[in-house]
């Protein structure tokens, strides 16, 4: 029996939530889209193996990485393999140039991703549900944002994660009440002459609120499934 780790890498490009996929380079299912994964070495722990795989693919270290679930259906792989899935949250614009060319990695919109090998689609769906649940109680989506961002960018991220439209005024009111954001003097004028102010995260308050968070999405519990 083999034990593997698969990494579900989500990223945000300032407009849309995306997922990082690779072209499988060997049989079975060669040439088809897949999550990045690998077998666990005899001297590796699970977290160590997941961090190694993520680094091999993206060159990333120290990003948000969380164990998701174990998948052990006897028929999930031609060889009897148990896989432990992890999900990672990254800012695409910061790391897009570091993707390893050998793996033919590409970013896909989460709502337009192709069919994946084995049970990888199931892994992705469970990861989406987990992120929706956690984002309703913890400010983890800020892990996907650059150091400075606009309120419209943050709202677009929440709308993509929950696949729903959010009332702009209500979102801003709730967001302001969290006290998590620091308003900057600089504006993003790429979409309008008036522009939108940039904000940055108050990291001290972020750490204090990581275990308890005001829900920014109305009826989020109904959108988690």
Q: What is the pLDDT of residues 185-218, one digit of tens each?
A: 999 887 777 788 999 988 887 777 665 555 666 6
Domain ranges of the chain: 2-135, 146-223
Q: What are phi and psi of 7, to 5 degrees?
A: -110, 125
* Token reading at 181: 């954001």
Q: Collapsing DSSP states into helix, strand and coil, what is residue 79?
A: coil
Please write down the HEC assignment for all residues of 23-35.
ECCCCCCCCCEEC
Sign of CA dihedral 130, 223, 200, 10: positive
Q: What are phi and psi of 69, to 5 degrees?
A: -170, 155
Alpha-carbon distance of 17 to 213, in angstroms, equals 21
Q: What is the pLDDT of residues 59-97, one digit of tens each?
A: 888 889 999 999 999 999 888 999 999 999 998 887 666
Q: How many CA atoms lie within 13 A of 157 on its CB side?
A: 26
Q: What is the pLDDT of residues 137-158, one digit of tens each?
A: 778 898 999 889 999 999 999 9
The answer to pTM > 0.75 is: yes
CATH number for domain 2-135, candidates 3.90.79.10, 2.130.10.10, 3.20.20.100, 3.90.650.10: 3.90.79.10
146-223 CATH: 1.10.10.10
Residue holding tokens 């696949």?
A: 163
């Amino acid at each position: 029996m083999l034990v593997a780790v698969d990494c579900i890498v989500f990223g945000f490009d300032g407009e849309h939530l995306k997922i990082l996929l690779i072209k499988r380079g060997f049989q079975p299912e060669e040439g088809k889209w897949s999550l990045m994964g690998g077998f666990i070495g005899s001297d590796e722990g699970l977290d160590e193996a997941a961090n190694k795989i993520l680094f091999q693919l993206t060159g990333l270290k120290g990003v948000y990485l969380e164990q998701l679930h174990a998948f052990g259906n006897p028929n999930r792989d031609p060889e009897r393999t148990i896989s432990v899935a992890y999900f990672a949250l990254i800012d695409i614009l910061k790391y897009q140039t570091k993707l390893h060319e050998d793996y033919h990695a590409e970013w896909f919109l989460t709502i337009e991703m192709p069919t994946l090998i084995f049970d990888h689609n199931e892994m992705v769906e469970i990861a989406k549900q987990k992120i929706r649940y956690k984002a309703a109680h913890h400010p983890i989506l800020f892990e996907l944002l650059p150091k400075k961002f606009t309120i419209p960018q943050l709202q677009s991220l929440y709308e993509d994660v929950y696949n729903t439209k959010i009332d702009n005024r209500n979102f801003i009111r709730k967001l302001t009440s969290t006290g998590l954001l620091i308003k900057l003097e600089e504006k993003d004028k790429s979409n309008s002459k008036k522009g939108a102010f940039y904000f940055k995260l108050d990291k001290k308050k972020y750490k204090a609120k990581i275990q308890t968070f005001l829900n920014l999405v109305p009826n989020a519990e109904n959108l988690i499934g």
